[in-house]
Amino acid sequence: MVTASEIPENVKGVVEFDSWLKPFVHVLSERRYLADKWHYDITHATADGSYQSLSKFARDSYRSYGLHADWETGEIRYREWAPNAQKAFLIGDFNNWDESSHELKFKDEFGVYHITIPPKADGLFAIPHDSKIKVMFIKPDGSKIYRLPAWITRATQPDRDTAKAYGPGYEARFWNPKNPYEFKNKRPHFNQKVDSLRIYEAHVGISSPEPKVASYKEFTQNVLPRIKHLGYNAIQLMAIMEHAYYASFGYQVTNFFSVSSRYGNPEELKELIDTAHGMGILVLLDVVHSHASKNVEDGLNEFDGSDHQYFHSVGSGRGSHPDWDSRLFDYGGFEVRRFLLANLAFYIDVYQFDGFRFDGVTSMLYLHHGVGPSGSFSGNYDEYLSKERSGVDHEAVAYLMLANDLVHELLPQSAITIAEDVSGYPTLCLPRSMGGVGFDYRLGMALPDMWIKLLKEQRDEDWEMGHIVHTLTNRRHGEKVVAYCESHDQALVGDKTLAFWLMDAAMYTDMSVLRPATMVIDRGMSLHKMIRLLTHSLGGEAFLAFEGNEFGHPEWLDFPNINNGDSFHYARRQFNLVDDRLLRYRMLYEFDAAMQNCEREHQWLNTPQAYVSLKHEVDKVIVFERNGHLFIFNFHPTKSYTDYRVGVDVAGTYKVVLNSDRREFGGYDRVDERARFFTTDLAWNGRKNFIQVYIPSRVALVCALE
């Protein structure tokens, strides 16, 4: 057993917070030490030996690497890291693709090339705005290779309107508009300690009822007002980093500093984010630093002719993901860390993103990537912290620590970082200062799995209330969770959304308000509302929903690909169904708005876990309190209860502030919202007082002190 005096200073905080970590303090200390050493190396790696901040390092990197125009001198500077190349030349429309006129100079022993291109005789930039460019390298064997600059900020598909799912290769363009978009609105204020986070996960390209790729402008005009009405205060944008294959959902990134040209140009994305900020909505980027596309001609793979520049070599066994058919970064490489950290700073500074959802964190954390027998996690600390058994990639953990350092340094008042981790890695969401990895939130990935399993395998009358409550509350103390009952994963073809599991084909025939709801529709709409509210209020410290799921989108999501004839029919969100007041989709939509806005007014998300006072397996009732609010769920399919006694801790008069049975939400108005509930000074279900309420079948109520 490790004694108190033997606990390393750099992890004392996490051990004091969680004493079960004590046997693993030396492993935790080693992981933190590596990140701290890298931080030191970066911040002390200046030419004159002076100190620089991590943010200055990241900002200086994206401002010096790649192509940059100086509007005062008319010069264009280009800088690229390509250690395997023997020579480098910049070619493009500007020099008629001459392979000898603009040779880059070899600057240093690290393999960094650079060139400064003077203005033309008339003072104009030598490279016109939005013109095509490439970099040509000569390899050690004398052969030539042609690449898109690694730091390019715009890449486009030829003939974008007719390009199919795979499309032709991407082209790099020199983006240098004379009048770039100027931000008008400040970032929304967000206090990690008290503010709630309600996230609307969205994909710009599918955000139209029409079978096409929607644009940034269309999202700004048509979708942002909906998100505002619904009451979400953050958007998580997917598939923004340029990806050659549309059907990859943005997870096969080719150009890390380019925003997807499918939806428009960079200035239009800036306008989208600025408009969201004006509405008080934060914008998060779904950032992909877990892997990269294997594309060679328009990606990072074999960029300088070697297979181990940005990635582990294929021969090492660590260079490719076994399931994703993609390349894996070598986080131990200094220039790789420069590239990735600069990428985060770039999106915060240039596009004004407010934080990141880090994709594929489980894959990053472990050498087994969460795949196979080793990728099954029971929660035993040995699986994460044992030197012999965990298979943890210490370099990836250290990179994630640095990434969190950087984001919180750049946005000290409002940074948000979210980890997509299914493993439950301890300390992932504890502060770096304590010895944690530093994320603000992790995704509650077990929650949608539970709901889908229940809907798939059991009748709701057989659901165990205790099992549901346990799954929703089974999270690490002090590490915040983003709760969700379905995300984009459950919307994809091959799976089913909650609405589809609940109502299936009836959604196509029985959603009209011109006739009474069928038993299938009635059950489906009732449970859809209850599942979302229960997950929202009990499952975490933040909430996430995927666009369209809030109103029970009737179809799955399937991007155009060779298997469906490049059809866009399922790569869209049918918001027209919400706007048709003769359809019940509107009712689910308005309930979601009421739920989000009720939380905004009353706040329960970013508060301590709920106290669950009742999990009644026969009555099918769940009762709990959170932040002084009382939540009552009756999952019984047929029984309604009059004067049902529920415990409350704080005495007083309670009123209903959210009722899933409102007619406007597809209910039957069985609850009198004018009623008041007075506490009786008698202990009940472990609480000091009780009230008696009428709770109809398949209805949820939220009550607050008047």
DSSP for 87-118 reads EEEEEEGGGTT-SSSSBPEE-STT-EEEEEEP
Q: How far is CA 495 from the centre of its chain?
A: 20
Tell me, what DSSP letter sits at residue 664?
G
Q: Which helix (H) or strand (E) holds 456?
A: helix 446-457
Q: H or E segment at 631?
A: strand 629-634
CA 162 from chain centre, in angstroms, equals 30
- Cα separations in angstroms, 365 against 28, 151, 290: 13, 26, 9
- Residue 625 appears among annotated catalytic residues: no
SS3 state at 548: coil
Q: Which two tokens stand for residue 130?
A: 């939005």
Distance set, CA 392 to CA 10, 398, 557, 619 (Å): 19, 11, 34, 45
Of 242, 271, 420, 661, the active-site residue reads 420
∠ CA(612), CA(608), CA(413), 5° rounding? 155
The residue annotated as part of the active site, out of 274, 302, 307, 359, is 359
Q: Are 605 and 196 in contact (CB under 8 A)?
A: yes
- DSSP E strands in 502-628: the ranges are 542-546, 611-616, 621-626
Question: What value, to the nearest 5°, has the Cα angle with vertex 77 and ends 76 and 82?
Answer: 140
Q: What are the residues whose beta carbons fall under 8 Å from the beta carbon of 623, sequence distance 6 or more? A: 612, 613, 614, 630, 631, 632, 633, 646, 647, 685
**Quick check: is 359 catalytic?**
yes
Can you tell me the distance from the alpha carbon of 288 to that of 199, in angstroms, rounded to the nearest whole number?
Answer: 18
Token pair for residue 287?
Answer: 């950032």
**Radius of gyration (C-alpha) of the chain in whole angstroms:** 27
Bridge partners of residue 625, in order along the sequence: 611, 630
b or e along 478-494 (b: 16 or more beta carbons within 10 Å of the residue's beta carbon)?
ebbbbbbbbbbebbbee
d(CA 345, CA 352): 10
Q: Reduced to 3 states, what is the DSSP secondary structure of residue 464? A: coil
Cα–Cα distance for residue pair 626/350, rounded to 1 Å? 39
Between strands 653-659 and 699-705, the pairing is: antiparallel
Biggest CA-to-CA distance, the chain: 90
> Where does residue 407 fall: left (phi above 0), alpha (psi -120 to 50 degrees), or beta otherwise?
alpha
| 3-state SS class at 37 | helix
The three-state secondary structure class of 680 is strand
Classified as helix, coil or strand, 657 is: strand
Structure tokens at 632: 């009552």
567, with CB counted inside 10 A (0-12, 13-18, 19+), is middle
CB 408 within 8 A of CB 401: no
Q: How far is Cα 150 from Cα 257, in angstroms, rounded to an integer?
A: 8
CA gap 123, 583 in Å, rounded: 61
DSSP at 220: I
Active site residues: 359, 420
